[in-house]
Chain A
Amino acid sequence: MRQTRKLSSQELLKKNVLDAGLCTGCGACVNLCPYQVIYRDRTVQLHSCDLSDGKCYAFCPRSSTDLSVLRKSLFPQADVTPEIGVVKGYYLSRAADSNLRERAQHGGTITALMELALAEGLIETAIVSSSERQVNVPVAIKSKDDLLQNSQSRFTVSPTVATFHEIAAENIAKIGVVATPCQALALAKIKTYTDKDASLKKDKLKLVVGLFCGWTLARDKFTELLKMNNIDESAVVGMEIPAGKGILEIYTPQGNRTIPMKEVENCIREACRYCVDSTAEYADVSVGAARFGNDWEEMRKWNQLIVRTEAGSDLIDLAVARGVLEIKEAPSEILKELKKAALEKKKVAMKNIVAKSGRENNLLYLNSNDSLIKGLLKRSGRKK
């Protein structure tokens, strides 16, 4: 008889996440131990580890996750929308400082919020994606100038959660993180992890500002695409997807270049196909571009802002009170459009998940007993 050995956490991570094409590259399994590292945007297992119940697998946003349990513990009283998660408040927002807006991708909301959190001592360090295109490693930031340098979107993943682990191990008490949906989910799993491991400094996580995210690009493929288009990757200073044009704009000192979105979409990271979250539902606040319809040019310098937790709410109140953030009520059609887009991503993801697992009762990392997931499964099933 063949003996079936219980797989170690590392083996589970390999089997269920890395080899399954579900790894988001968030870095949740990295910097906890010497066994996993991030190289470029890939999670690499350097040596074998035979421990079970390891944190690497527990924190992974693509290991089995009961989102309903997570929601209960993170948002005790709030109502949940099926499309964009918990909403305590929904606004359009932008940084009051027009200089900052100039340099930021959209409304500069994130930079303004992190700057404020640093200035007010709510956090001592902010972890954001670095603006070094070639490296794209997250950086820990302690000053305003550094923040500004890193206020452009890049559409490739950075192992932000790995940097959180690294910084948390240092002598720093309060950390804020700017996170994509998958990273925010990993951070939520860390925050609610119940094991009493003194080395795990989860209490240091004070603020998670989520980013709206449709997908990220797989580095190798995108590098190849830039090469094919004769674009020097190291010269790229920023990128944008203007609403309704079907192109990716690439900013370089030599001028702007464009690549058709159809080609760019071929470079999307496989894991993103199975992601049901486009608004970072497990963050304190979530911020995204206001990328809608005909008003693009006017809207592009505003952000959409979703407030989700008490801490998030307090931060926004403070930002308005201090005059660093301008907010306004969003027209209801924009919220409708956001929900529609978010639901569409969820449905596509559910379809892809079921196609991958081959069974409706195996939703890979998602729990099929979660009522929200159940509802989603029905809606995606109906519309074949």
Chain B
Amino acid sequence: MSNLLSPANKVVLYMGNEAIARGALEAGVNVACGYPGTPSSEVVESLSKVTTERNLYVEWSTNEKVALEVAAAASFASLRSLCVMKQNGVNVASDFLLHLTASGTRGGLVLVTCEDPGALSSVNEGESRYFARMLEIPLLEPATFQEAKDMTKWAFELSEKIHNVVMLRSVTRLSHASGNVICGRLPAKNSKAHFDYSGSMMDPLRGPVVSTPVVPKHTIQQKKLAETANLFEKILCNYYEGPKKPELLVITSSACYLYSREAIGMLGLQKRVGILKLGSTWPLPPQLLKKHLKAAGKVLIVEEVLSFLEENVKTLYAGCAKEIGVKAFYGKNDGTIPSVGELNPDIVAAALGKIFRIKYKPVADDYAHAMQEIEKIIPLRQQTFCAGCPHRASYWNINAALKLDGRAGIVCGDIGCYTLGALTPANGFNTVRTSHSMGSGTGIASGFAKLDAFGLKNPILSVCGDSTFYHAAIPALINARHNNANLTMIVLDNSGTAMTGFQPHPGLCSGASGETLPAIDIAEIARGIGAEVAICDPFDLEKTTAQLTTFMEKADTVKVLILRQICALSPEKKGKKKYLMKVNEELCRGEECGCNRLCTRIFRCPALVWDKVKKKAVVDEVICAGCGVCYSICPQKAITKTEAPPQ
């Protein structure tokens, strides 16, 4: 049984994302949906495992906007719903979110955004706290695992109180770390969906759900938000700890609260510094802020990414400065806290050190020196494709086709493991020239392909993953076709949302909870749009390269090449080798003219190792996934493959 179903009062070790999921279950959530994205995926994933027990509908939606629409429908039908995404997912959902916050909601709707300061597994350091302020909805930021659960549960109640979306923001260090949580009660399962639209347009619970009349509804929304600010004055997740009259007040939230507390301890400043820890960061509770600002002469705001909290605190302070006196503010705006990247206790300690003129060294000198010495001898570990990764073979083919074509084709990239194709030849394949948001590669390619009239004659290509294809690339492909932007789109179809952990997508015949669903074929969609379509196995190098060069030469239509091969780490493939690979040392020419280490110098599968002593390539059997591609590239046929015994 999933530990998400643990009984009340039991202490359970939950990952932050599981704590959020448990909170939703304790709130009696009926619908949970989202689009996978690190560090958010485990919320929906863990809920997908308890659908039967908790009378829950869980889906991986096509993209974040659709996910929010699905969640909104449940809310309109008076059910509670949870919608989960990563920071940039909120951007995708934001158009609908603007209108949803204007129309209002019924059943509690909580939008969970798990964000990635420092871009540990993102190509952006985006932040969605500003959406809460811009769209005038409450924003909650739990700091601990217990809070993650408790605040999620409470967010549903708040949502129903104000008839609007409540946003709950987590960060990587909360979502992906684990801690003890005391479970609450799981409610009875007796929800019934009912969508009432018989009332007047102004009736939030019985009228049609629309954002018009805009101004009156906007007025109500703002009134509810003001009520929320009052409510936030007294909630348990906003609290102060420290001396009555601190020299410095730290205002913080989220994981930064823990960093701040630790940093104060490290510098022994417990008697001089107080912390105002906020669990609700929009709207700010004015009285609580005023009271604590008044008590201290100096104020440090500790937060990650942008200076959202700092700006809001300063705005609020400006309104009461006359009353509470002059304060010195420290934070991102004056450079005390770095304005990019993740924070940690050392960074906060360094900031406190600056203010209190305490020399702070995170590690002793000899330790730092030893670290420097060790760094010189630690082998460089580069980001690269896994052993057996279809993308390595795909880029091998794409590269060959580009070179053979000889017209400097431009490849526009997209979001997935294959973004590594933008890296230098040593790591990725130095093939991808642009990389932005999901689906954008094909949109940009569509634009490039229309620039031939201005002298940009290069063939234009885009790469796009299978999940990305459904998520946002289809409108771009339609755009290309309709506008005669005759690009070649390469769909790197590895049969799942691989980078985030093999969540299913519309191309597969199973849903989030393993239920059977109709699969929607990429080739059929592309053909329906009018593209010329071919499907190749990227491991078949000769055929794939030939198909791609043929496509690049066809200037009169949009081409879609689907490169289909399951991810090496997928549950159906992982640990199962198709071939046993071996290097015949007698045939291996190593560094000689005629080979010059093609496999370990250019192809660079992690399973191929260069034996410096023997001067031969070696297959690391432990790492090798048995895909057999190196057999095809070896000019000497020194790499042999034999069918692996069935497992």
> Complex formed: what's the CA distance from A48 to B429 in Å?
12
A199 touches B403 (CB 8 A): no
B406 touches A33 (CB 8 A): no
Contact of A55 among B399, B549, B593, B633 (CB under 8 A): B593
B406 touches A39 (CB 8 A): yes
In B399-415, which residues have CB < 8 Å from any A CB? 399-400, 403-404, 406
B593 touches A33 (CB 8 A): yes
A-chain residues with CB within 8 Å of residue B403 when the two chains form the complex: 44-46
Q: A15-48: contact bitstring with B at CB < 8 Å (1 yes, 0 no)?
A: 0000000000000000011110101001011111
Q: B589-628: contact bitstring with A at CB < 8 Å (1 yes, 0 no)?
A: 1010111101000100000000000000000000000000
Smallest distance from the beta carbon of B399 to chain A beta carbons, Å?
7
Provided the pairs A39-B404, A42-B406 are in contact, do residues A33 and B596 lie with their beta carbons within 8 angstroms?
yes
**Residue of B whose beta carbon sits closest to that of A10:** B596
Smallest distance from the beta carbon of A167 to chain B beta carbons, Å?
16
| Interface residue? A197 (CB, 8 A) | yes
The number of chain A residues touching the other chain, given as a range, is 20 to 34
> Complex formed: what's the CA distance from A49 to B594 in Å?
10
B-chain residues with CB within 8 Å of residue A46 when the two chains form the complex: 399-400, 403
Provided the pairs A34-B633, A199-B589 are in contact, do residues A47 and B602 lie with their beta carbons within 8 angstroms?
yes
A33 touches B404 (CB 8 A): no
Contact of A34 among B399, B406, B635 (CB under 8 A): B635
> Complex formed: what's the CA distance from A35 to B596 in Å?
9
Smallest distance from the beta carbon of A313 to chain B beta carbons, Å?
35
> Complex formed: what's the CA distance from A42 to B549 in Å?
14
In B380-420, which residues have CB < 8 Å from any A CB? 399-400, 403-404, 406
What's the A-B contact tally at a CB cutoff of 8 Å? 45
Provided the pairs A33-B635, A34-B635, A39-B404 are in contact, do residues A55 and B598 lie with their beta carbons within 8 angstroms?
no
Contact of A32 among B406, B593, B598 (CB under 8 A): B593
> Complex formed: what's the CA distance from A35 to B601 in Å?
12
B-chain residues with CB within 8 Å of residue A54 when the two chains form the complex: 593
> Complex formed: what's the CA distance from A37 to B549 in Å?
14
B-chain residues with CB within 8 Å of residue A47 when the two chains form the complex: 399, 598, 602
| Interface residue? A50 (CB, 8 A) | yes
Residue of B399, B593, B633, B635 with highest tally of chain A CB at under 10 A: B593
A32 touches B594 (CB 8 A): yes
**Residue of B whose beta carbon sits closest to that of A46:** B403
Smallest distance from the beta carbon of A77 to chain B beta carbons, Å?
34
Main secondary structure of the interface of A (DSSP, over half): loop
B-chain residues with CB within 8 Å of residue A45 when the two chains form the complex: 403
B-chain residues with CB within 8 Å of residue A32 when the two chains form the complex: 593-594
Residue of B403, B594, B635 with highest tally of chain A CB at under 10 A: B594
Residue of A9, A33, A197 with highest tally of chain B CB at under 10 A: A33
Smallest distance from the beta carbon of A216 to chain B beta carbons, Å?
18
A-chain residues with CB within 8 Å of residue B596 when the two chains form the complex: 33, 35, 49-51
Provided the pairs A34-B598, A34-B633, A34-B635 are in contact, do residues A51 and B406 lie with their beta carbons within 8 angstroms?
no
Residue of A32, A49, A53 with highest tally of chain B CB at under 10 A: A49
Contact of B406 among A44, A55, A199 (CB under 8 A): A44
Contact of A33 among B400, B549, B594 (CB under 8 A): B594
B-chain residues with CB within 8 Å of residue A199 when the two chains form the complex: 589, 594
In B451-469, which residues have CB < 8 Å from any A CB? none
Smallest distance from the beta carbon of B459 to chain A beta carbons, Å?
14
Provided the pairs A34-B598, A34-B635, A46-B399 are in contact, do residues A51 and B593 lie with their beta carbons within 8 angstroms?
yes
B-chain residues with CB within 8 Å of residue A42 when the two chains form the complex: 406
A-chain residues with CB within 8 Å of residue B400 when the two chains form the complex: 46
**Residue of A whose beta carbon sits closest to that of B595:** A33
A-chain residues with CB within 8 Å of residue B635 when the two chains form the complex: 33-34
A-chain residues with CB within 8 Å of residue B602 when the two chains form the complex: 47-48
Q: A38-78: contact bitstring with B at CB < 8 Å (1 yes, 0 no)?
A: 01001011111111011100000000000000000000000
> Complex formed: what's the CA distance from A33 to B549 in Å?
22
B-chain residues with CB within 8 Å of residue A51 when the two chains form the complex: 591, 593, 596
B-chain residues with CB within 8 Å of residue A33 when the two chains form the complex: 593-596, 598, 635
Q: B371-386: contact bitstring with A at CB < 8 Å (1 yes, 0 no)?
A: 0000000000000000
B-chain residues with CB within 8 Å of residue A9 when the two chains form the complex: 593
**Residue of A whose beta carbon sits closest to that of B425:** A48
> Complex formed: what's the CA distance from A273 to B633 in Å?
36
Smallest distance from the beta carbon of B457 to chain A beta carbons, Å?
14
> Complex formed: what's the CA distance from A250 to B203 in Å?
83
> Complex formed: what's the CA distance from A47 to B635 in Å?
13
A-chain residues with CB within 8 Å of residue B549 when the two chains form the complex: 39
Smallest distance from the beta carbon of B155 to chain A beta carbons, Å?
54
A-chain residues with CB within 8 Å of residue B591 when the two chains form the complex: 51
**Residue of B whose beta carbon sits closest to that of A50:** B596
Q: A101-118: contact bitstring with B at CB < 8 Å (1 yes, 0 no)?
A: 000000000000000000
A-chain residues with CB within 8 Å of residue B399 when the two chains form the complex: 46-47
Residue of B399, B633, B635 with highest tally of chain A CB at under 10 A: B635
A55 touches B594 (CB 8 A): yes
Residue of B399, B406, B549 with highest tally of chain A CB at under 10 A: B406
B-chain residues with CB within 8 Å of residue A50 when the two chains form the complex: 596
Contact of A53 among B589, B593, B633 (CB under 8 A): B593
Smallest distance from the beta carbon of A60 to chain B beta carbons, Å?
14
> Complex formed: what's the CA distance from A37 to B545 in Å?
13
Q: B413-441: contact bitstring with A at CB < 8 Å (1 yes, 0 no)?
A: 00000000000010000000000000000
Smallest distance from the beta carbon of A190 to chain B beta carbons, Å?
14
B-chain residues with CB within 8 Å of residue A34 when the two chains form the complex: 595, 598, 633, 635
Smallest distance from the beta carbon of B415 to chain A beta carbons, Å?
27
**Residue of A whose beta carbon sits closest to that of B633:** A34
> Complex formed: what's the CA distance from A42 to B406 in Å?
9
> Complex formed: what's the CA distance from A9 to B596 in Å?
12
> Complex formed: what's the CA distance from A47 to B591 in Å?
15
> Complex formed: what's the CA distance from A32 to B635 in Å?
9
B598 touches A44 (CB 8 A): no
**Residue of A whose beta carbon sits closest to that of B401:** A39
In B538-594, which residues have CB < 8 Å from any A CB? 549, 589, 591, 593-594
A44 touches B404 (CB 8 A): yes
Q: A165-177: contact bitstring with B at CB < 8 Å (1 yes, 0 no)?
A: 0000000000000
Given A51-B591, A54-B593, 13 more A-B residue pairs with CB atoms under 8 Å apart are A9-B593, A33-B594, A34-B598, A34-B633, A34-B635, A35-B596, A39-B406, A39-B549, A45-B403, A49-B596, A50-B596, A51-B596, A199-B589
Query: 10 closest Cβ contacts across the A-B interface?
Result: A39-B404, A34-B635, A47-B602, A33-B594, A54-B593, A34-B598, A49-B596, A44-B403, A51-B596, A46-B403
A interface residues with partner B (beta carbon < 8 Å): 9, 32-35, 37, 39, 42, 44-51, 53-55, 197, 199
Q: Could you list 7 A-B pairs, sorted by A, with CB under 8 Å?
A: A33-B594, A33-B635, A34-B598, A42-B406, A47-B598, A54-B593, A197-B593
